[in-house]
Each structure stands twice: as C-alpha cells, then as structure tokens.
Chains A and B, each alone.
Chain A
Amino acid sequence: MSITKKKSWNPPKIGRAQISSLEKLSEASGVSGNEDAVRKIVIDEIKAYADEYEIDALGNVLVTKRGSKKNLPRVMLAAHMDEVGFMLVHDEGEGLFRFDIVGGIDRRQIISKPVWVGKKRIPGVIAGKPIHLTTPKERSNVISVDTMRIDLGPGNSKKGKSGDWATFATKFMRQGQTLRGKALDDRVGVASLIELLKNAPPNIHLLAAFTVQEEVGLRGAKVAGYAINPDMAIVLECTPALDMPTWDGSENTLYRTKLNQGPAIYIADRATLPDPRLVRLLQETAEAYDIPYQLRQPGVVGGTDAGAIHLQRSGIPSISISVPARYLHTPASLIRLADWRNTLALVHTALSHITPNTLKGERQ
C-alpha cells in the first residue's frame, strides 16, 4: 500500500454548525445504559443521509450508508454515545439520595460537584462538608462514595428516585481554540461520525455504529460488531493527554498523547493490538496529505470499542483513532479545535483511499 495525494481534496470541515452540534451532544445526559437523549440527537442528524438505520436490542444506532456500487469494502465506524456518571440508589428523604458511580470516575474528583439528575435534569449537588468543619486528617483522606449524597433539596425531593441517572452539570464552551465540556469522551467521536455520514466517500459501504455502554465494558460494540460483521473497523474515540510539564522539569516520558499534535493513532492499548495494515493506512494517509498526527503511547491502560469489535466472529481487523483531551472523566474536559479538524480530515481521507486491496494478504 502506498497513498498518493489526490488532486482534488476536500475533507469535511469543522465550522460553527459542527461546534454547535458538539455543544448539544456534550450537554445531553447519556450515562451508560441511558443513552436515549444522545440517540435522539444522533438520529435527528443522520436520518436524512442514511440509506437505512435501526436501533438494536441494546440501543446501539446502526446506520448503513452504501457506496457507489455493490462489491465494496464494508467498513464499520464506531463511536460511543454513553458517558460516565452516577445513579441514584436510595432515597433518604428531604431530597438526599445515596448514589453509585457508573463507569470509571476518580472518587477524589466528585465531591461538591453540581449534577443534573434524571430525564428532567433536576439540578443537584454532590454534598461535601465545608472546610470549616473538616479535620486535617479528614482532608488527607479519600472520601468514600458510601458517605456521600446527591442533594436535590427538599423542594425537589419527589423529582428524583432510585434508578435515575445523573451527570456532571457542565455547560459547553468555546475558549478560543479550545473546546471545553463534559463527556467529550466520546461525544466528539459521535460528532465526527455524524459528519462522516453526511460526507461519506463513495468507495466504501460505511456502516456506522453509535454504541452504548462502552464505559462499563465495551458492551454495545460487542453486539454491534457481531451484527454488522464488517471487513474492517475504525473506532473514533477521545483519549487522555497527560502532556503537562513535570514538576521537576525532567522529560515527560508518560504523556499518552499531547494536545495540538493531531489525531492519536492507536498501536496498543489494554484491549487491542490494532491491525498493522490499518496503522499504515492512517499513517501513510497523514503523511501524503501533510495532516499532523501522533501515535498514542502504547500501554496496558485504556481500551476502546475496538477491543470488543476485533474479537467478533472469525476476527475483524480494527483500529482506533482519538482526539486527544485533557481531564477526561471529570466535569470539564478540554480539546483543541485543530485536533478535531485534523482527526475528521484524516479519517475521511483514509476512508477515501480504502480499496479491496487494503487488507490483502495476511496480517503483518
């Protein structure tokens, strides 16, 4: 395989409309298992462009956008709709609720944060003792979730109930070249996938999966991969960047990704060793078109929907590509606009170069 730049090159752009779509997606409540609000936005956006779409038994939105003729590579693109959050588990009266964490959230980061509870997004706060009343010893301990409560106030005590989901209450904002919001993991992937459906290249059959329950163990992608059974899969994700300077000025050797260095191509994470032929497809495309990119530092942490998809049936060559973000799984994550633009451009361009020969021969 070798990629030569095409004369006419016009990848989809990120403009005001796309940013406002991401804003809507970011602010929607969609904790794992309760992706309904996000699903509605997705279907609204894609239905005019899809050849067909369906909602499967777990709630994944599976969309078919056919290419220009019959026998073309069947390429699955996946982005997960769900986000980490909370679930009310016990009503203690007076608007106080015990809760559980859904997905991976650092217990140290949740105290005193505002949340939205339930479909009606009732405002609440995760109750925290003020500093006046804590002892130095308490302040050096991690507070157990058992002792925390979500406080809706007595006036709203009947508006929440056990089983309601809750999310961080974060308004999306743009600060110059930075976009800030909750759940950019993976709403930025969802937003990109919507744009790819709207601008699908004609040389492939594009099979999009907006998946559920990624944050609790890649559950939606498992059944979506089985049902779609594609020739290959590309997962659009959002991955942590730990690119701040070190406290002692030594070289930061464990940053995973860096902001403003372009899309992060996966070569190994906890769940997947991506197909090297797809790594080369993305790298060579980026080089031929001068799109900046980085390799996500390999390691045994982090996993994406590719981890579930590549193991379906007799095996599906898969890879992930991420917009790098700071502070994921907290109330406010940050991405750079340029990274999102370049991710969309790289994926779209690479798709346009896929041929039946892309996966010819054996994996190596």
Chain B
Amino acid sequence: MKSLIQKLVEIPGPSGYESQVREAVKDEVEPYVDEMQVDPLGNLITRKGSGGDKGLKVMLSAHLDEIGVMVSHVDKNGFARFTQLGTVFPRNTAGGRVRFLNGAHGVIGMEVPPSRSAVTTLNKMYIDLGVTSKKDCPVKVGDVAAFERTFQDLGKRMVSKAMDDRIGVAVLIETLKALKSTPHQVFGVFSVQEEVGVRGATTAAFGVNPDLGLAIDTTGVGDTPKSPRSDLALGKGPAIKIKDFGMISDPRVVAWIEAGAKRAKIPYQLDILIGGSTDARAIQLSRAGVPSSGISIPSRYIHSPSEMVDFDDVKNTIKLLVHLLSRPIKLQ
C-alpha cells in the first residue's frame, strides 16, 4: 500500500488540473467498482453495490487536487511571478521547488523583505527557472506547477507533498478494494477543486444525490511543539468530524461512525477543526440537504511540501470504512 501512496502523492495535480491523478485512480479502482464516470468538472464518480430495500446511497468524497501555483507574469529577466491555486503559505514556500505540468522545474525565491521580521506575500515572490530572459523562459502566463518533494517512508510515519488529500484518495481506493459486499450503493467520488472552495464536490453531490455523505480528508493535529490547540495526535486513530469552519456534522452520522469504531475496536478521535473545511460541507448543502460528516486522517504540516501522516491511522481509517459500509446503516 505504501507504493500506491508514493505513486499518488508524486503525481502533480493542482486544483483544476487533476487529470493525471484521475487517470491513475481510474486504473486502480476500475476492477473493483460497478460503474465509473467523469462529470463536466472532472470529478471521477464510481459506484459499487446496487443497494437493496434498506440500502442507502452513500457518497464518500476524497479530493484529487493539491495546492499549487500558476504563473501570472514573466518579467524581462525571465523570473516568473505566480498566484496560488488553493491556500499557499508564503512561509512554507521560499526555497521550495516546483515542477510544471509541462515538465519545467523552478525554485521559489523572494524579494528581500524590508526587515528580518517582515512577513512576505506571494506577490513579492517569484519562480527562478534558471534562465536570464523572458524569451528563454520555458513557462508562460497560465502555466501550472505543483510543489516538488519526494515521498519519504519513515517507518511508522510517512512524509510527502500532497498527502492532503492523496492519502484520502489512497484510503478510498483501498476501501473500495477491500469492501467485498455492501447492502448500499457506495459512491466513491474522487473530487476536483476542493482546495479552491469545495467546488467539485458541489456538482458531484448534485449528480449523485446521496442519502449520506462523508468526506475523507486530512485534518490538523496539536501534538507538536507549541502547535495550535487541538486534542488530535498522529497515531491515535481516524478523526471523526464534529465540526469545522464550514460545517457542523449531523450528530446522527457522528454517532453511527463512533458506534462502528467501538464495535470493531478501532481507535478513533473526535475532530473539531478551527480553520478550513472539506467536501462534507458541499455534500451537506446539496439539493434539499444531506446528513454528512467526515473521517479524517490526522496530519502534521498541512499545506507545506512535507505533510506527515501515521501509517496505523491510514490502515485504521480503511478498516473503519469497510466495517461501516459492510452492514446496514440506521441513523438515530
């Protein structure tokens, strides 16, 4: 499974430009699903199981896209100015490297700030592609790049760019593989444009029209020196979403997940995320409303080129999902 994770995180796929990741996912899931289609925005929507009298339409959403950059101007000396696709933190950016979808490579530099303590903005940063003129620059306005950082296996923990949310994508793929039978119609949705405002999940949820929705994403933790206040930690199990900045989970869905985790003796944590949101927000607000929550893989250093997750958490998330989806669902 680690090789699948490595393959997925190393493919570039910034928001709006997910097609390479989508192709890789198609290859993985095709033998394990009953139906597969791509909607007008580029969401890959798969279905497994036909449901019965008591089965539900369950939508699981993991997003294909990652944060990235787009060139906004190439100056006369060949430096490329850029804007963000998704939230890119300037503090995580200088000195980093990017790889363009056309294969070009560059390093991110910044104008010298007025003082050492000054915080810079992306407008004061640029990509240096090793050229000296606009004419020789291998990229132009509109070209898109992802951050470049290889996967590293630290044993129990793994580090890479784009763990947000390729680890969710990997979890969803493995869940569809491991799910031998289900009384439900399970819609595994690999969504686009999450990082720019849960856009793909908005249209996918309309198309699927589910009875129940879950986002499979990463969430921040509070287990590092002077980290933000949070009870979450790596290695303590999947995080069940209670609320985040964009949604409040349906308590019945939370209770259903919690009961499943207890029954299957899978460790879990409760997730109250202060900033950010997930595809669950889009699903919840679709059409006449959908009971929704999320199951998240705890992660350190989110939206940096080195996002860290725990392998036990990953395996437990898959176990929990398979357990939940193998049996009837009664929300109460």
Complex interface residues of chain A between 236 and 264 (CB less than 8 A to chain B): 251, 253-254
Give every chain B residue within 8 A of A254 (Cβ-Cβ): 72-73, 81, 123
Give every chain A residue within 8 A of B15 (Cβ-Cβ): 273
Of B19, B39, B84, which is within 8 A of A300 by CB? B84
The answer to whether B196 touches A273 (Cβ under 8 A) is yes
- B70: CB under 8 A from chain A? yes
User: Could you give, for residues 337-364 of chain A, a 1 whenever the CB lies within 8 Å of some chain B CB and a 0 otherwise?
Assistant: 0000000000000000000000100111
- A132: CB under 8 A from chain B? no
The answer to whether A298 touches B142 (Cβ under 8 A) is yes
Report the bound CA distance from A298 to B15 in whole Å.
Answer: 13
Q: How far is the CB of A319 from chain B (nearest CB, A)?
A: 12
- A311: CB under 8 A from chain B? yes
The answer to whether A300 touches B38 (Cβ under 8 A) is no
Given contacts A254-B81, A273-B16, A297-B72, contact A316 B193 (CB under 8 A): no
The answer to whether A311 touches B203 (Cβ under 8 A) is yes
- B83: CB under 8 A from chain A? yes
Complex interface residues of chain B between 35 and 67 (CB less than 8 A to chain A): 38-43
User: Could you give, for residues 169-208 of chain B, a 1 whenever the CB lies within 8 Å of some chain A CB and a 0 otherwise?
Assistant: 0000000000000000000000011001001101110110
- B85: CB under 8 A from chain A? yes
The answer to whether B83 touches A300 (Cβ under 8 A) is yes
- B141: CB under 8 A from chain A? yes
Give every chain B residue within 8 A of A310 (Cβ-Cβ): 41, 199
The answer to whether A363 touches B42 (Cβ under 8 A) is yes
- A317: CB under 8 A from chain B? yes
- A179: CB under 8 A from chain B? no
Report the bound CA distance from A7 to B159 in whole Å.
Answer: 58
Given contacts A314-B203, A314-B206, A315-B203, contact A297 B73 (CB under 8 A): yes
Give every chain B residue within 8 A of A300 (Cβ-Cβ): 83-84
- A209: CB under 8 A from chain B? no
- B30: CB under 8 A from chain A? no
Report the bound CA distance from A279 to B76 in whole Å.
Answer: 25
Given contacts A253-B81, A268-B70, contact A362 B38 (CB under 8 A): yes
Q: How far is the CB of B47 from chain A (nearest CB, A)?
A: 15
Q: How far is the CB of B12 from chain A (nearest CB, A)?
A: 13
Report the bound CA distance from A253 to B71 in whole Å.
Answer: 11
The answer to whether B207 touches A314 (Cβ under 8 A) is yes
Of B40, B42, B72, B81, which is within 8 A of A364 by CB? B42
Please give the number of chain A residues whose Cβ is less than 8 angstroms from any Cβ of chain B in the complex: 25
- A313: CB under 8 A from chain B? yes
- A115: CB under 8 A from chain B? no
The answer to whether A362 touches B142 (Cβ under 8 A) is no
Given contacts A253-B81, A314-B206, A315-B203, contact A363 B73 (CB under 8 A): no
Interface centre among A279, A295, A300, A316 (most CB of B within 10 A): A300
Of B22, B75, B76, B203, which is within 8 A of A313 by CB? B203
Give every chain A residue within 8 A of B70 (Cβ-Cβ): 267-268, 298
The answer to whether A364 touches B19 (Cβ under 8 A) is yes
Please give the number of chain B residues whose Cβ is less than 8 angstroms from any Cβ of chain A in the complex: 34
Report the bound CA distance from A91 to B229 in whole Å.
Answer: 49
- A299: CB under 8 A from chain B? yes
The answer to whether A316 touches B40 (Cβ under 8 A) is yes
Give every chain A residue within 8 A of B38 (Cβ-Cβ): 362-363
Interface centre among B39, B40, B81, B193 (most CB of A within 10 A): B40
The answer to whether A267 touches B142 (Cβ under 8 A) is yes
Of B19, B196, B202, B204, which is within 8 A of A363 by CB? B19
Report the bound CA distance from A311 to B205 in whole Å.
Answer: 11
The answer to whether A299 touches B40 (Cβ under 8 A) is no
Given contacts A268-B83, A273-B15, A273-B85, contact A297 B141 (CB under 8 A): yes
Q: How far is the CB of B73 from chain A (nearest CB, A)?
A: 5
Closest B residue, CB atoms, query A317: B40
The answer to whether B39 touches A299 (Cβ under 8 A) is no
Give every chain B residue within 8 A of A311 (Cβ-Cβ): 199, 202-203
The answer to whether A295 touches B141 (Cβ under 8 A) is yes
The answer to whether A273 touches B193 (Cβ under 8 A) is yes
Give every chain B residue within 8 A of A253 (Cβ-Cβ): 72-73, 75, 81
Report the bound CA distance from A315 to B206 in whole Å.
Answer: 9
Complex interface residues of chain A between 4 and 38 (CB less than 8 A to chain B): none
The answer to whether B203 touches A298 (Cβ under 8 A) is no
The answer to whether B40 touches A314 (Cβ under 8 A) is yes
Give every chain A residue within 8 A of B199 (Cβ-Cβ): 273, 310-311
Give every chain B residue within 8 A of A268 (Cβ-Cβ): 16, 70, 83, 85, 142
User: Could you give, for residues 300-313 of chain A, a 1 whenever the CB lies within 8 Å of some chain B CB and a 0 otherwise?
Assistant: 10000000001111
User: Which B positions have Cβ atoms within 8 angstroms of A?
Assistant: 15-17, 19, 22, 38-43, 70-73, 75-76, 81, 83-85, 123, 141-142, 192-193, 196, 199-200, 202-204, 206-207
User: Which A positions have Cβ atoms within 8 angstroms of B?
Assistant: 251, 253-254, 267-268, 273, 276, 279, 295, 297-300, 310-317, 359, 362-364
Closest CB pairs A-B (n = 9):
A273-B16, A315-B203, A364-B19, A315-B41, A315-B40, A314-B207, A363-B42, A267-B142, A299-B83
16 more contacts with CB within 8 A, not counting A297-B141, A300-B83, are: A253-B72, A254-B73, A268-B70, A268-B85, A273-B193, A298-B70, A298-B142, A310-B41, A313-B207, A314-B206, A314-B207, A315-B203, A315-B207, A362-B38, A363-B42, A364-B17
